[in-house]
């Protein structure tokens, strides 16, 4: 049985731009990723997204809007399995700052850096940025980079 890590991400959006970040260490190092991370015991996904946004880039996010959930599974690497809740906010205090984990960067919502992101980004990010709720399951191939399949995920 696969033990799935639960995480939550927050996409700050303002004036046609979305805040993403260069992952500087850990899982996904070197990729442009959404701001967020793992849930702590007893924490809701929304609470985790707010905490992680504060820790990773210094923003105090408010009024998060739930845009769905995505599951990532990796052929031959069950320990990498992740269930990720996605939130968008247009309301926060502070300015993004670089931390040990993330170097934040603004991108035009119509031109995210897909070539520098996990392969699922091109499937998920445009839909979320258009305001859709997304419920998908991605199975990655043996190389851990290529998408082997995409399927619907029942809303939770």
pTM greater than 0.85 (yes/no): yes
Q: Enter the tokens of residue 13.
A: 């959006």
Q: Enter the tokens of residue 124.
A: 């998920």
pLDDT in tens, the chain (156 residues): 567 899 999 999 999 999 999 999 998 999 999 999 999 999 999 999 999 999 999 999 999 999 999 999 999 888 999 999 999 999 999 999 999 999 999 999 999 999 999 999 999 999 999 999 999 999 999 999 999 999 999 877
Rg of the chain (C-alpha set): 15
CATH topology of domain 8-71+86-136: Nucleoside Triphosphate Pyrophosphohydrolase (3.90.79)
Q: What residues pair up with 70 in beta bridges, in sequence order?
A: 84, 136
């Amino acid at each position: 049985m696969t033990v799935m890590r639960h995480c939550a991400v927050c996409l700050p959006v303002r004036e046609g731009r979305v805040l993403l970040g260069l992952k500087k260490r850990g899982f996904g190092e070197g990729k442009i990723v959404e701001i967020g991370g793992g849930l702590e015991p007893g924490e809701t996904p929304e609470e985790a997204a707010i905490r992680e946004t504060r820790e990773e880039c210094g923003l105090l996010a408010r009024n998060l809007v739930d845009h769905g959930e995505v599951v990532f599974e990796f052929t031959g690497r069950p320990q990498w399995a992740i269930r990720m809740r996605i939130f968008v906010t247009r309301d926060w205090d502070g300015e993004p700052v670089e931390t040990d984990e993330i170097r934040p960067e603004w991108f035009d919502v119509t031109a995210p850096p897909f070539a520098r992101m996990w392969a699922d980004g091109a499937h998920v990010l445009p839909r979320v940025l258009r305001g859709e709720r997304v419920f998908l399951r991605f199975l990655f191939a043996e190389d851990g980079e290529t998408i082997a399949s995409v399927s619907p995920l029942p809303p939770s």
